[in-house]
């Protein structure tokens, strides 16, 4: 028996036993098959297993059009694109048809005329599922002609046909998406009068162009994405359109550090050479994710805008690049990423958070440092006792030696581009710091990372003073440092 994909004519297709099937039915049948086979349906999507994905599967089983509603960076578009894997691998179309006509259920004038002329000899082509995905970003300048179509005067002139003839129509994206998945991203940005043009397509499956009495029973699976912020800032989804979209599914950000790390490490573009040269301790990978959580909870950040998962991805890439730049400048072969390297992560934060008024007053750089500081405090408390809540009568302050060393007037300068040996020497000179790091369950290879975390953590809890001066972090005793700064300021005022 001839392989069905080798069929080249309508007659052969009829003999093969092929039966037309709607897009929604295709999606449903293939999803049922994958569930029965216990296959992974949405590989690479993490954190939605018990929330979003079951809703998507229920919508597909119900043959619904879908609205994915969520803040930016919540994998809405990625999820929509993955639905293409639920289509049949190949589907037959009338050769040359711009509307992807099913040979056994044609809808266009072209396909109907061709079949009437050639009958069983009508040529058939096979369309791969990758070609059955159409995506459009909704912008205010999108017109009805773009989506639905319009009369083409040039076509009318060339074919010598009146404007009343169906053959002079230039079809838009939606008719060309017949038997396909059609995704409209950022739906609220579409003008209200343009949204109205979708009513008939969604409800009755037909459409009109320029008043033509044209019925095209389109077969399209619509997937819309929208950000709730858009409902107030730029536009809204008109109520009758929302009513016609059968399933509205709300997405969300990762609920845990582990899920966030999976997403970040999967999506980040880190070269094998970078991975071979630069060791990023697990604790710093967690710190990257804590930055995103801290940003979403920050009083300076607009919570309605959200904090995209792209923040952690960019921050992770910047962390590698900051360590790599330091390695290259020092002529070293290998290095370990440091908390000091997070100064290079700041550009990944400043462009990815929308600030409230108070944040604007503080400035993006200060807000970024504040967010990183909050994340450091949280990671610090996962490994060290809280220095502000030490029990009274405790035999020994675990940070006592470190505090005494700084109280004696000692200062630690951690330059951003310090070579490995000098960086380690700078930490080694702080009395008691090594013992503090050894009190944790840190691996020997990460001991200096924990020592550095102890310094930054103590500074965030105001046990020590920390400031970024040009290209270095300066650590000193909190009280002595503040008094010295006040004395310096008094002297400047005196001379001024």
pLDDT above 70 (res 157): yes
> For residue 260, what are its two tokens?
């966030």
Give the confidence band of 492 by pLDDT, cuts at 50, 70, 90. Answer: very low
d(CA 117, CA 122) in angstroms, rounded, equals 8
* Cα angle for residues 483, 488, 494 (degrees, 5° grid): 125
pLDDT at residue 493 tops 50? no
Query: What does the pLDDT read at residue 231?
Result: 55
pLDDT at 194 (0 to 100): 87
If phi over 0 gives left and psi between -120 and 50 gives alpha, with beta otherwise, what is residue 324? Answer: alpha
Among the four given CATH numbers 3.90.700.10, 3.40.50.720, 3.50.50.60, 3.40.50.300, the one describing domain 4-250: 3.40.50.300
- The C-alpha atoms of residue 247 and residue 400 are separated, in whole angstroms, by 60
Reply yes or no on whether the pLDDT at 494 is more than 50. Answer: no
Q: What is the largest CA-CA distance in the chain?
A: 101
Residue 80 CB: number of other CB atoms within 10 A? 22
Q: Residues 113-133: pLDDT tens digits?
A: 999 999 999 999 999 999 999
Half-sphere exposure of 109 (CA within 13 A, CB side): 9
Cα→Cα distances 141→122, 144, 192, 323, 409, Å: 40, 10, 12, 44, 64
- Under CATH, to which class is 256-382 assigned? mainly alpha
Residue 148 near residue 207, CB atoms below 8 Å: yes
Percent above pLDDT 70 for the chain:
91
More confident residue, 360 or 36: 36
| pLDDT tens string 195-224 | 888 887 787 766 666 666 667 788 999 999
pTM (predicted TM-score): 0.86
Of 37-51, 152-166, 258-272, which gets the smallest average pLDDT? 152-166
More confident residue, 344 or 486: 344
Token readout for 32 is 């049922």
The predicted-structure confidence for 245-278, as pLDDT tens digits, reads as follows: 999 999 999 999 999 999 999 999 999 999 999 9
Rounded to the nearest angstrom, the gap between the alpha carbon of residue 372 and the centroid of all alpha carbons in its chain is 21
User: Where does the pLDDT of residue 303 fall: very low under 50, low under 70, confident under 90, or very high at 90 and above?
Assistant: confident
Q: Can you list the alpha helix ranges (DSSP code H) found in 142-267? A: 144-147, 153-159, 173-176, 192-196, 199-203, 230-233, 239-244, 257-267
pLDDT tens-digit series, residues 3-21: 677 889 999 999 988 899 9
Residue 490 pLDDT > 50, yes or no? no
Paired tokens of 462: 């105001």
pLDDT digits (tens, 9 = 90+) for 335-394: 999 999 999 999 999 888 888 888 888 899 999 999 999 999 999 999 999 998 876 655
Burial class for 325, CB neighbours closer than 10 Å (0-12, 13-18, 19+): middle
pLDDT for position 103: 95
Q: Are 112 and 102 in contact (CB under 8 A)?
A: no
């Amino acid at each position: 028996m001839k392989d069905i994909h080798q069929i080249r004519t309508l007659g052969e297709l009829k003999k093969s036993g092929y039966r037309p099937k709607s897009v929604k039915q295709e999606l449903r049948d293939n999803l049922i098959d994958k569930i029965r086979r216990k296959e992974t349906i949405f590989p690479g999507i993490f954190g939605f297993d018990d929330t979003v994905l079951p809703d998507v599967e229920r919508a597909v089983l119900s043959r619904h059009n879908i609205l994915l509603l969520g803040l930016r960076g919540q994998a809405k578009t990625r999820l929509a694109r993955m639905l293409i894997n639920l289509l049949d691998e190949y589907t037959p179309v009338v050769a040359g048809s711009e509307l992807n006509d099913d040979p056994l259920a044609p809808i266009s004038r072209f396909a109907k005329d061709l079949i009437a002329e050639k009958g069983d000899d009508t040529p058939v082509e096979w369309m791969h599922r990758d070609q059955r995905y159409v995506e459009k970003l909704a912008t205010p300048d999108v017109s009805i002609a773009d989506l639905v179509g319009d009369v083409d005067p040039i076509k009318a002139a060339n074919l010598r046909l009146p404007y009343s003839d169906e053959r002079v129509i230039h079809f838009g994206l939606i008719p060309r998406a017949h038997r396909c998945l059609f995704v409209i991203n950022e739906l609220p940005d579409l003008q209200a009068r343009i949204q109205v043009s979708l009513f008939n397509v969604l409800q009755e499956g037909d459409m009109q162009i320029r008043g033509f009495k044209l019925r095209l029973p389109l077969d399209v699976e619509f997937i819309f994405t929208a950000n709730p912020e858009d409902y107030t800032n730029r536009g809204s989804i008109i109520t009758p359109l929302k009513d016609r979209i059968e399933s509205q599914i709300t997405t969300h950000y990762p609920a845990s550090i582990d899920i966030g790390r999976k997403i970040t490490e999967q999506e980040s573009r880190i070269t094998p050479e970078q991975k071979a040269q630069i060791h990023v301790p697990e604790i710093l990978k967690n710190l990257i994710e804590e930055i995103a959580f801290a940003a979403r909870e920050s009083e300076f950040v607009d919570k309605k805008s959200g904090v995209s998962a792209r923040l952690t991805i960019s921050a992770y890439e910047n962390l590698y690049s900051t360590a790599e730049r330091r390695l290259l400048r020092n002529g070293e072969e290998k290095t370990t990423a440091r908390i000091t390297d997070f100064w290079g992560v700041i550009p990944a934060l400043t462009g990815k958070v929308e600030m409230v008024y108070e944040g604007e007053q503080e400035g993006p750089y200060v807000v970024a440092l504040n967010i990183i500081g909050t994340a450091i405090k949280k990671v610090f408390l996962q490994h060290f006792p809280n220095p502000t809540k030490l029990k009274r009568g405790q035999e020994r302050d675990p940070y006592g030696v470190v505090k005494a060393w700084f109280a004696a007037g000692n200062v630690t300068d951690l330059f951003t581009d310090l070579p490995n040996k000098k960086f380690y020497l700078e930490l080694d000179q702080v009395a008691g710091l090594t013992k503090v790091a050894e009190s944790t369950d840190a691996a020997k290879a990460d001991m200096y990372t924990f020592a550095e975390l102890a310094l930054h953590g103590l500074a965030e809890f105001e046990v020590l003073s920390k400031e970024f001066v040009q290209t270095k972090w300066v650590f000193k005793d909190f009280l002595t440092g503040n008094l010295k700064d006040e004395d310096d300021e008094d002297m400047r005022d005196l001379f001024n």
